[in-house]
Structure 1
Amino acid sequence: MKVKEVSETANVAWSPSDVYPAYLACGTSAQQLDASFNTSSTLRIYDLNIGQTNLDMKLAASVELPARFHALKWSGLGGERTGLIYGGCENKAMYVYDASKLMNKAPDYQVCTTEGLHSGPVLTLSCNYMKANFVACGSSDSEVTVWDITNLSAPIIPGKKLSLGANVSCVEFNRQVEHIFASTCAGHCVVWDLRKQTSIMTISDTVSRMKASSIIWNPSVATQLLLASDDDTTPWAQVWDLRYATSSLKTLEGHQRGIVKTAWCVHDGNLLITAAKDNKICVWNPNATERGLEIVGEFPSYNQWCFDMDWGQRDPSLVAVSSVDGCVSIYSLLGSGQPPTQSDKFSQIADSFPGMEMPAVAPQGATPQPIRLRNPPKWFARTAGASFAFGGRLLSWNNQSKSVEIAQVVTEQALVERSIQLEAALSQPHFAPFCQAKAEAAFQPSDQILWQYIGANFDSSPRNKYMELLGYSPTQVSTKIHPLISETEGFNAEFLADKMADLATNVSETEAEASLPIIQLEVEEKEENNHGLITQALLVGDLESAVELCIKDRIHPHALILAAQAGPELFAKVYIIYWYYFS
């Protein structure tokens, strides 16, 4: 649908993609007259005024010029931020304007001009897409000239002039190879090489005898171009590949009258627009594999054909179209917009022809329908992406590179340093020093104790380390027990043997079991016994000291049991002492 419009009979050119907001340049078109038959020439720059829902555009700059335009281009490769505007005019000259100075209303907006250097009107021009200072111009009598705007005194002649004696209808630089451009003249397409300064190929269809009037290069494939014919007998376009120039790759048929203008989307090589004299503007997919499916959409028809159009550089969904009824319209491929009114146009014509009978109701065109593309445009696809991975790694990609980049993202430097220390400890391995360092660096007592217990697992004697952390160090326990252990009282071996014999005959098993006291050992130290120290000695593994304390407290059965675990020597000693006391 139409999103904006302005009453201008003008050639159009979009501002470069780097310029925000987007602007539209409109230069009064040559060989076109409006209803008022005004012959003045004006270059206007419009702000799209997207914030408003109406069809009006905001005028940003306007300047009167000496001649009307056959061609208008806006290149963003100039030294200025907003680029340069190139105009091919009917007074045999090309003008170059500084867009920034035009919008700032500076008096020195003109950069340079080629007045008096062409043999006829400049009918077409094309700016080099990679070198800002080069521009190709086509004029009458098969004249093709390339200019360096920094040195207009030395024009570049691409090769031997063709002896066709006709106007050059179109010139176009290749978008990927800076020294290649093509021109059309008298139905022939000539491909030029500026390095060799000669024509390298001439393309003409000898089968269908289609007369090419316009040319545009494929933005994706450097060797492919599209030729279109404005002849009503051959109203089609052909896709050619310079590598197989004996015949065209594909013919796009859908118009009933000659094609006036073509535009190939730079952001999506599958979208091509053609405007013809049958009042139709068709959207094509020139890369479609099935015949009959090339047309993917059609612009609304308003019973007027278009002579110029340009595809939006910043917003590829917008297309500017100039029609012969004196209206510059901006259409959206996304289907948004408003239906325009034609009563104003009709009333202007009625005012210009007073006294003539006019119908009571202004004629209206067919109800405009929104543009519906069969496939989503490529600029809707993701041009870049990123995803976080484990360990703070970031994976990123973009459509300009075939590789995936992996970067380390550091959000907490302290966390990264701790991770490095942990990896170093795991690789060595040095677990005990790592746990000790973590315990020393801990702020909370609970964290400090936790790391001490974890580090105890990697000590040479984990059990003793655990006891130390619990407060039962072997050295400390030994220091407590040593003063309490006295020398064992002496005994007579013969007397002990007699006592053992008597014990075997006089004491029954039941009486012996009943005579054994029940002892409950505790960890806490008490004054009346050494049970707490016995338990501490057992915890630290000092069985000998525990046995001595059991003997001291006269709990000989426990001493025997512990001595049996300590070894035969200590058991024999305790065994003798036991029978000594019970004899």
Structure 2
Amino acid sequence: MHSKAYSRLGVFAWSPTGVEPKGLIVADFAQYFDPTSANVSSSIEFLPIDSIYSSPRPVPSISVPIQYRFNELSWSYSASSAHSLGIVAGGTEDGSVVFLDADSIINKSQANILSAQRVHQGHVLSVAHSQDSRWLLSGGGSGQLLLWDLTNFSTFSPGKPNYPDQIKMVRWNKKADQIAACISSHRCSVYDLRRPGAPIIEFGELGSGCDWNGLSWNPTDASSLILCSQSDALPLVQRWDLRFATAPLKDLRLHQKGVSAVDWWEYLEKLF
């Protein structure tokens, strides 16, 4: 395996299954600021997979100016004539959730904004689409969680959390389309869209030392997920089972510094 050099302070989303050409959509990161830079413009780029494989220094095939900078991108597949390469959604620094047509970026070199609604308070730190690409979740300040219909970009709240903390990450269950979870610094909240209202489960409160930063659902078990804390004072990874959410199944404290991201490898999930 050879390393590749593509340097940019940005956020990205891989092309979903069913979309050709394969590659990355990359946009400027909202939480970076260089006071010495004379260039304050933003852009969104497409980095084709062919360039990644063939060159040690891959370069984008498309770079399009855009007025937004993003905290996270989510690229969902929509098998419709209107959006043949899917929809790219992003959470911005001004509270907007922006939806872009991927085909316009890749084939027309245009940032075709399908919808941009400023409905969150503060930064929208996380966005994620459901496994069936029908819904998008976005999380922002004051515990605000919004559910978006990707067929018409209408939005409503799936329920109110019990605590008004800033939502740092949202993720859909990989086996049950109606289940989603979000994390704030001190807890994880799980929602069942069949039961609107408060979260069905909340857990992970560990006191002032914890700072949850990453969340990942088990790819084969709908009741299991892992969390990680980015706090240097409490750098841990925990595995939880929603059926027994009074305490974690596993509590791993092997890191010396805070853990910034966590994910499953499907073939080793039984060994965790």
TM-score (norm 2): 0.88
Aligned to 1:163: 163
Distance 2:160 2:48 in 1: 43
Aligned to 2:12: 12
Distance 1:95 1:254 in 2: 38
How do 1:1-150 and structure 2 match up within 5 A?
Answer: 1-33=1-33, 37=37, 38-49=39-50, 53-77=54-78, 79=80, 80-105=83-108, 107=110, 109-114=112-117, 116-130=118-132, 132-150=133-151
Distance 1:52 1:232 in 2: 36
RMSD: 2.5
Distance 1:212 1:206 in 2: 10
How do 1:102-251 and structure 2 match up within 5 A?
Answer: 102-105=105-108, 107=110, 109-114=112-117, 116-130=118-132, 132-153=133-154, 155-164=155-164, 166-198=165-197, 199-206=199-206, 210-251=210-251
Distance 1:258 1:106 in 2: 39
The code of the aligned residue for 1:145 comes to: L
Quote how far apart the aligned CAs of 1:119 are: 2.1
Unaligned runs of 5+ in 1: 271-285, 289-293, 295-583
The code of the aligned residue for 2:213 comes to: S
Check whether the contact 1:12–1:26 (CA below 8 A) recurs between aligned residues. yes
Check whether the contact 1:121–1:140 (CA below 8 A) recurs between aligned residues. yes
Aligned to 2:252: 252
Distance 1:233 1:143 in 2: 28
- 2:98 aligns to what SS in structure 1? strand
Check whether the contact 2:213–2:261 (CA below 8 A) recurs between aligned residues. no
Quote how far apart the aligned CAs of 1:81 are: 3.6
Distance 1:27 1:97 in 2: 12
Quote how far apart the aligned CAs of 1:35 are: 9.3
Quote how far apart the aligned CAs of 1:69 are: 0.6
Whose radius of gyration is greater, 1 or 2? 1
Check whether the contact 1:119–1:140 (CA below 8 A) recurs between aligned residues. yes
- From the superposition, tell whether residues 117 and 260 of structure 1 become closer, same or farther in structure 2 (CA, over 3 Å): same
- 2:64 aligns to what SS in structure 1? strand
- 1:263 aligns to what SS in structure 2? coil
The reply on whether 1:287 has 2:270 as its aligned counterpart is yes
Quote how far apart the aligned CAs of 1:209 are: 6.2
Quote how far apart the aligned CAs of 1:138 are: 0.5
Matched residue count: 268
- 2:71 aligns to what SS in structure 1? strand
Aligned to 1:283: none
Quote how far apart the aligned CAs of 1:51 are: 8.1
Distance 1:149 1:188 in 2: 28
Distance 1:51 1:229 in 2: 32
Quote how far apart the aligned CAs of 1:160 are: 2.5
Distance 1:180 1:46 in 2: 32
The code of the aligned residue for 1:120 comes to: G
- 1:49 aligns to what SS in structure 2? helix
Distance 2:107 2:131 in 1: 26
Check whether the contact 1:187–1:213 (CA below 8 A) recurs between aligned residues. no
Check whether the contact 2:215–2:263 (CA below 8 A) recurs between aligned residues. no
Quote how far apart the aligned CAs of 1:259 are: 1.4
Check whether the contact 2:142–2:166 (CA below 8 A) recurs between aligned residues. yes
Check whether the contact 1:33–1:39 (CA below 8 A) recurs between aligned residues. no
Distance 2:254 2:183 in 1: 22
Distance 1:269 1:33 in 2: 39
Check whether the contact 1:48–1:57 (CA below 8 A) recurs between aligned residues. no
Aligned to 1:356: none
Structure 1 segments (4+ residues) deviating >4 Å: 50-53, 205-209
The code of the aligned residue for 1:287 comes to: K
- From the superposition, tell whether residues 119 and 39 of structure 1 become closer, same or farther in structure 2 (CA, over 3 Å): same
Q: CA offsets, 1:530-549, max 9 Å, x none?
A: xxxxxxxxxxxxxxxxxxxx
- 2:3 aligns to what SS in structure 1? strand
The reply on whether 1:263 has 2:263 as its aligned counterpart is yes
Quote how far apart the aligned CAs of 1:182 are: 0.6
Quote how far apart the aligned CAs of 1:188 are: 0.5
- From the superposition, tell whether residues 261 and 108 of structure 1 become closer, same or farther in structure 2 (CA, over 3 Å): closer
Quote how far apart the aligned CAs of 1:161 are: 3.8
Q: CA offsets, 1:109-161, max 9 Å, x none?
A: 222222x322222111111112x2311000011111111133444x2212234
The code of the aligned residue for 1:147 comes to: W
Unaligned runs of 5+ in 2: none
The code of the aligned residue for 1:251 comes to: D
Greater fraction helix: 1
Distance 1:241 1:208 in 2: 23
- 1:192 aligns to what SS in structure 2? strand
TM-score (norm 1): 0.43
Distance 2:111 2:53 in 1: 33
- From the superposition, tell whether residues 209 and 202 of structure 1 become closer, same or farther in structure 2 (CA, over 3 Å): farther
- From the superposition, tell whether residues 58 and 144 of structure 1 become closer, same or farther in structure 2 (CA, over 3 Å): same
- 1:168 aligns to what SS in structure 2? coil
